[in-house]
Amino acid sequence: MQTVAQALARMGELAASPTVSKLATAFEGAGYEFALVGGPVRDAFLGRAVNDLDFTTNATPDQILAVVAPIAEAHWDIGRAFGTIGAKVAGETVEITTYRADAYDGDSRKPEVVFGESLEDDLGRRDFTVNSLALRLPRLELVDPSGGIEDLLAKTLRTPAPPERSFGDDPLRMLRAARFSAQLGFEVEEGTRAAMTALAPEIDRISAERVRDELSKLLLTGAPRGGIRLLVESGLAERVLPEIPALRLEVDEHHHHKDVYEHSLTVLDQAIDYEVSRGVLDSPDLIVRLAALLHDIGKPGTRRLEKGGVVSFHHHDVVGAKLARKRLRALRFDNDTIAAVSRLIELHLRFFGYADAAWTDSAVRRYVRDAGEQLERLHILTRADVTTRNRRKADRLGFAYDDLEERIAVLAEEEELAAVRPELDGADIMRLLDLKPGPVVGEAYRYLLEVRLDEGPIGPDAAEQRLRAWWAAREA
């Protein structure tokens, strides 16, 4: 946390940058108010990198365009209906928004856009006090009408207006509370938490796309666990991601199993650690994090209390994959993300048989083939899924997965494992068997693929012999 003097000095340096100074001079010259607002001001106090430049002004969108157009390399008005104009100035992308005073009407999923009259009014309708800070430009006057600096010092999230009104105006702010709590490491003030619980049903007014985007931002923070806990404890998760609170299974006094909810949060933590430490994927990786959080959501529906105090969750991987597909579709995730996450959940148990009995090369090939493009993510998820406190068991599983990855690497080098396919393609099959395109060609191809997976490369001549023998047996 920076001191006020340090933060103001940092903002002074930012104000002197070509982008900010050019904009501030242009708006002042045109007779309009102009201020840096929200996240950049907050982050200057927190000593965090300032990446996005957001400005606000009393100029209307048309007036903003008139000021910006002569000094910008490019500008766009895709957000004009919401009062926002985007531009590229001195090489940096910025957004400039007219003062706002909008709110929900109580039924609509989208706010009614109403322009405000003053900077203070604009700051008062924002989500949290720590985001309700502004720096008037070019004179470098800090504006903090709701005590945001004190809340930054106290590491507290609080709404500038009464939370019931703030969340009533825009229920998505309740999800943003969870996200900023995780992102900044702040505690949500008691009254604000109580309002989240009381108003949780209001989140139903928000579109699935906006909910999806906010959940994604939460998962992409450095430590999302606390934010997820807040969603569960407030009742919001029950409405937007009910599979997660459902993981809090009751434990029968005669049947014992690990806490699935806590286990899933730990797997998420560990997956993030592996994602970063392995350095193969672009981090943060939303697919890894969704798969880690959701990997056991099939357990509540498959839980069985067996004799001898044993609890089973047979086929929870398959059930969980189906549940994940359904939930992610409801949240309007794209098809590629849905397919990747559900595939990882479906495969997340596959490895554990390897630790008990070493696989054949054929089994290793199938593991790679079934994972496909998700192999690295499957490595991460499988390793993260080991949360046992039994050090001997954890080491055994870790060593076994090390061995599996080494075998995959060796086979990949020897056999081009990432592109496993038969030595004969569909055209070869049709030529050799004098066939026309049809289902039987696919049947023959799948047979040759099984041979390839079982035995590795056998060469085109041997593949032809196998094909003809298969065809003769089929025709007999």
Assigned token pair, 303: 């839980």
Whether residue 470 is predicted with pLDDT greater than 60 in this model: the reply is: yes
| 140 Rama sector, left if φ>0, alpha if ψ -120 to 50, beta otherwise | left
Judged by average pLDDT, the poorest of 294-298, 320-324, 437-441 is 437-441
Residue 147 and residue 192 in one domain:
no
pLDDT tens-digit readout, 364-407? 888 888 898 999 999 999 999 999 888 888 888 888 888 888 88
By residue range, what is the domain housing residue 435? 426-475
Number of domains comprising the chain: 4
Counting other chains too, the contacts that 69-78 makes at CB distance below 8 Å and 24 or more residues apart are: 70/26, 71/22, 71/23, 71/26
pLDDT for res 324 = 98
Interatomic CA distance for residues 11 and 46, integer angstroms: 12
Q: Which of 188, 221, 241 finishes a domain? A: 241
How big is the CA angle at 379 (ends 376 and 381), to the nearest 5 degrees? 110
Mean pLDDT of the chain: 88
Residue 228 and residue 283 in one domain:
no
pLDDT for res 262 = 94
Residue 373 and residue 286 in one domain:
yes
337 or 417: whose pLDDT is higher?
A: 337
- Which of 123, 7, 116 shows the shortest CA–CA distance to 54? 123
Instruction: Please report, for the domain that includes residue 4, its CATH number.
Output: 3.30.460.10
Q: Which of 394, 419, 444 finishes a domain? A: 419
Confidence tier at 294 by pLDDT (50, 70, 90): very high
8 Å CB contact between 253 and 208: no
Residue appearing with tokens 């604000």: 192
Assigned token pair, 258: 């690990």
272 or 412: whose pLDDT is higher?
A: 272
Determine whether 87 is exposed, middle or buried from the number of CB atoms within 10 Å of its CB (0-12, 13-18, 19+). Answer: buried
Residue 146 and residue 10 in one domain:
yes
Whether residue 138 is predicted with pLDDT greater than 60 in this model: the reply is: yes
pLDDT for res 120 = 93
Residue 6 and residue 87 in one domain:
yes
Residue 295 and residue 344 in one domain:
yes
Residue 131 and residue 176 in one domain:
no
Integer-rounded Cα Rg, in Å, for the chain is 28
What does the pLDDT average to over 183-205?
96
Tell me if residue 127 falls in helix, strand or coil.
Answer: coil
Residue 260 and residue 116 in one domain:
no
What does the pLDDT average to over 115-137?
92
252 or 283: whose pLDDT is higher?
A: 283
Confidence tier at 254 by pLDDT (50, 70, 90): very low
What does the pLDDT average to over 54-74?
95
Confidence tier at 471 by pLDDT (50, 70, 90): confident
pLDDT for res 97 = 94
pLDDT for res 450 = 82
Residue 256 and residue 359 in one domain:
yes
Helix, strand, coil tally for the chain in percent (to 5):
60, 10, 30
Whether residue 183 is predicted with pLDDT greater than 50 in this model: the reply is: yes
Residue 132 and residue 175 in one domain:
no
8 Å CB contact between 298 and 326: no
Interatomic CA distance for residues 174 and 171, integer angstroms: 6
Interatomic CA distance for residues 41 and 22, integer angstroms: 18
Q: Which of 214, 241, 268 finishes a domain? A: 241
Instruction: Please report, for the domain that includes residue 334, its CATH number.
Output: 1.10.3210
Tell me if residue 304 falls in helix, strand or coil.
Answer: strand
Interatomic CA distance for residues 238 and 246, integer angstroms: 8
Confidence tier at 337 by pLDDT (50, 70, 90): very high
454 or 469: whose pLDDT is higher?
A: 469
pLDDT for res 253 = 44
Whether residue 14 is predicted with pLDDT greater than 60 in this model: the reply is: yes
Whether residue 355 is predicted with pLDDT greater than 80 in this model: the reply is: no
Residue 263 and residue 350 in one domain:
yes
Judged by average pLDDT, the poorest of 113-122, 180-189, 329-338, 369-378 is 113-122
Residue 384 and residue 329 in one domain:
yes
Instruction: Please report, for the domain that includes residue 173, its CATH number.
Output: 1.10.110.30
